[in-house]
Every structure is written in structure tokens, then in C-alpha cells.
Amino acid sequence: MNLVRYKSIEFDKKILFHVIIILIMFAMSLFAFTTLEHEGHWLTGMNNQVVWGVPHVFAIFLIVAASGILNIASISSVFGISAYKPLSRLSALLAIGLLVGGLMILVMDLGRPDRLIVAMTTFNFKSIFAWNIFLYIGFIFVVVIYLWMMFEGRYNKHVSKVGMFAYAWRIILTTGTGSIFGFLVAKEAYDSALLAPLFIAMSLLFGTAIFIKTLYFLRIYFDVKTGEIIFKRLRKLLLYFILAVFYFTVLFHLTNLYATTHHDYEFFLLFSGEIYTYLFWIGQILLGTFLPLFLITSNKINSTWHSLLLASLLVIIGGFIQLYVIIISGQAFPLDMFPGYIESSTFSDGIVAEYTPSIYEFMLGLGGIAIASLIFILGILSLEFIPDSLEDEYLQN
């Protein structure tokens, strides 16, 4: 087996082009941020019923993907499968970028972002949100140390220990993120401990899909040669995680269908919820689950990077839609404060709340992606993150 070498990249026109696009995206998010800060949140589609909207979908997507993308490194340093070792550095870099991007969206969407210092210094430890602040910031810290251990030859021997710690940390982190919703006892759509493992499975899936997409472009742009081993492993990984998310999704809905008290919400989501029903069946299930499954498993088309990329892109789109369905439909569905009564009021009681995301919300979300991408590009420009070759003779299967 040959020894894998790593390389950094030179700043060239290709990179410049990407940086310009990133800066445009970031400028758009800054514009949205300052406009909302100045005018107020009425410019968004969010309202007093749907209080978390598209920015939160972007943010939570990036945060859970950050946790999941580090799984590539964990497979090598925790589970000892050394074929993934050359990808560990990239996995950790992407994890930091995605998390910072996600957090930035959350902060930019706050009603009082100027009080970030309050959020960082005044804690209510009964709140899972307060715990998550520690989990997120701690995650960045842990991954930086993890990277240090990987880069510094003298400390390579500690990689597995730090990797194990990071692995435990990210499982707790994603549990915390899922529990933001799981602990909401008042809302029919949430209030389930199953949301925590569902979010863990989602994180593994979204992280793997983003990693595959990134690797695909690294192959093209920076001539990273890949062999059969890494291709087959990543394909199999994506397959397992699609099945895991599907399993928890089915379990979540079956549990709801069993309990009469949740029937109304299930009927709404699965049959009568219009946009949410379409998004669930067409977006999450067809585009995000069955189509990528077909692309990965079909004997005729499963053997190319193109089909794997397409499957990953579908998983990313489906995952975004899945989070949209979870976050928005759960708020839009009316609270049942008076079982057995039909409710009406001037405050959307008894009816499905309206929500149409505005352009400002998407702009905030793009800012998070821009920051994640910028961190990634700065990383690969300045340090040796990219493996020279991922051909079979460089990998231990």
C-alpha cells in the first residue's frame, strides 16, 4: 500500500470565481440581515404562528449536516476502517464550516442579534437551547483539536482518542438538536423522543451526501484520483443512511398513527395538508428517498460517480424538504387547546396557519452556505487537507 500524501491548493481563477460567488451570497445575507434588523421581521414570511421559518430550515440543515459529515473521520479513527483515513481532514474541515454557517444563520435571524453576548453569558440550564450553545461551540473546539492531532505527526497517536470524544460529542449534539423539537410537549407534531434518533440518522445522511458532492468536485477541479474502494464504500454508506432515515421516518409516523390523539396531525401531513403533503410525498419520500435509492441500487446505473452525485444532490434536496416539513408543518398545524370544540379567533386558532417564505429568509440561509464554503476554501488554500490520491493502492480496504 502506498502512503497517502496531502496537498493544499493554489489560488487561481477557478477559486477566485468561487470566492466572488460566495461574497455575493454573503453580501445578500448581510443586506437581508440589516434590513430585518432595521425594519423588523414583518418583512419575512414568519409570523406569530409560524415563528421559525426558512432560515431555521437552512440553519438546522447545516448544523445536523456538520455533525454527520464528521462521521467520515469517525469511521476511520473510531471504527478503525482505514480506507476513510485520507478523508478525515476534509471531513473535519467541512464539519467546522457547516456548523459555523448554521450558527451564523441562527444568530442573524434573532430578533435581537445585538444581544448575542447575553446569549453567551446568561444561561438557563433547563433549556435545551442553552445546552446546545455549549454543544455547538464545544464541537468546534473539539474538531479543531481533532484536526490538530491529525496534522501534527507527533500527536497522530492521539487521533483515535480525540476522535472517540468527538464522536460522542456529535451524537449528543445531534440529540440536542432533535430535542429542541422533541421536548416541545404542547405541539402535536413534535413531543417525541424519536426525533432525537431521527435527527442523528438525518445528520449522517446529509453529512455523507454533502461529503460525496464535495469529493466529486475535488476530483474534477483538483485532480484527486479515486478508485473503486472509496467509491463503493461511500455509495454503500449513503445507501445505509437513506435506509436509516427512512426507518425512523416510518417509525415516527407509525407511532403517531397508533395514538388517536395524533391522528389529526398525521391525516393533515399525509393527506390533507396541501403544500406540506406534496412536499412530504414528492419531496421527502420520492425525490429524497426512493429516487436516490434507485440510483444507488440499480444495476444499470449505479457504477458511476455521476449517478452517486445525482443521488447525493437528491438526498440534499430531499433532506432540506424533510426539515421544512418537520419545522414548518408542525407550527402551521393548529394547536388543539379545546379537544371536542371547533375553535376560531383573530389569531389563526383552529385553522392551518399561513406561511409563505420571503426572499429575505432565503438570503439569510445563503449567507450560512457562503460562510461554510468560505471556511472550506480558506482551509484547503492554507493547509494540506486534500489527499493526493484515493486510488485503491493508497487505501487499505
Q: Which three cell numbers stand for residue 47?
A: 409570523
Residues 64/202, Cβ–Cβ less than 8 Å: yes
**260 φ, ψ to 5°?**
-55, -35
Regarding 13 and contact with another protein (CB under 8 A), the answer is: no
Question: Applying CB under 8 A, which of residues 2, 8, 34, 127 lies at the interface with another protein?
Answer: 127
Question: Applying CB under 8 A, which of residues 15, 243, 244, 335 lies at the interface with another protein?
Answer: 335
Count CB-CB contacts under 10 A for residue 357: 18
Of the candidate spans 161-169, 289-297, 305-313, 338-346, the one that interacts with another protein by CB under 8 A turns out to be 338-346
Site string for another protein, 44-63 (x = CB under 8 A): ---xxx-xx-----------
Q: Least distance (Å) from another protein to the CB of residue 39? A: 7
Residues 24/16, Cβ–Cβ less than 8 Å: no
Q: Which three cell numbers stand for residue 268?
A: 393533515
Count CB-CB contacts under 10 A for residue 83: 20
Pick 14 or 115: Cβ nearer another protein: 115
At residue 226, the 3 state secondary structure works out as: strand
Pick 116 or 137: Cβ nearer another protein: 116
Regarding 34 and contact with another protein (CB under 8 A), the answer is: no
Length of the chain: 397
Distance CA 344, CA 350 (A): 5
Question: Applying CB under 8 A, which of residues 17, 24, 34, 42 lies at the interface with another protein?
Answer: 42
| Chain Cα centroid distance, residue 238 | 14
Angle between helices 88-109 and 128-151 (to 10 degrees): 150
Question: Applying CB under 8 A, which of residues 344, 382, 396, 397 lies at the interface with another protein?
Answer: 344
Of the candidate spans 83-91, 164-172, 303-311, 333-341, the one that interacts with another protein by CB under 8 A turns out to be 333-341
Q: Which three cell numbers stand for residue 267?
A: 391525516
Pick 361 or 392: Cβ nearer another protein: 361
Pick 48 or 299: Cβ nearer another protein: 48
Regarding 229 and contact with another protein (CB under 8 A), the answer is: no
Question: Applying CB under 8 A, which of residues 354, 359, 382, 397 lies at the interface with another protein?
Answer: 354
At residue 38, the 3 state secondary structure works out as: helix
Pick 99 or 162: Cβ nearer another protein: 99
Of the candidate spans 19-27, 215-223, 226-234, 343-351, the one that interacts with another protein by CB under 8 A turns out to be 343-351
Pick 155 or 338: Cβ nearer another protein: 338
Count CB-CB contacts under 10 A for residue 21: 12
Q: Which of residues 143-202 bind another protein (CB under 8 A)?
A: 180, 183-187
Give 310's contacts (C-beta < 8 A, 6+ positions apart).
Answer: 292, 295
Q: Which residues on adjacent β-strands are paired with residue 387? A: 6
Residues 364/46, Cβ–Cβ less than 8 Å: no
- Look at residues 38, 40, 28 and name the one whose alpha carbon lies nearest to residue 362: 28
Pick 82 or 358: Cβ nearer another protein: 358
Residues forming contacts to another protein in the complex (CB under 8 A) are 37, 39-42, 47-49, 51-52, 110-113, 115-116, 118-119, 122-124, 126-130, 133, 180, 183-187, 331, 335, 337-338, 340-349, 353-354
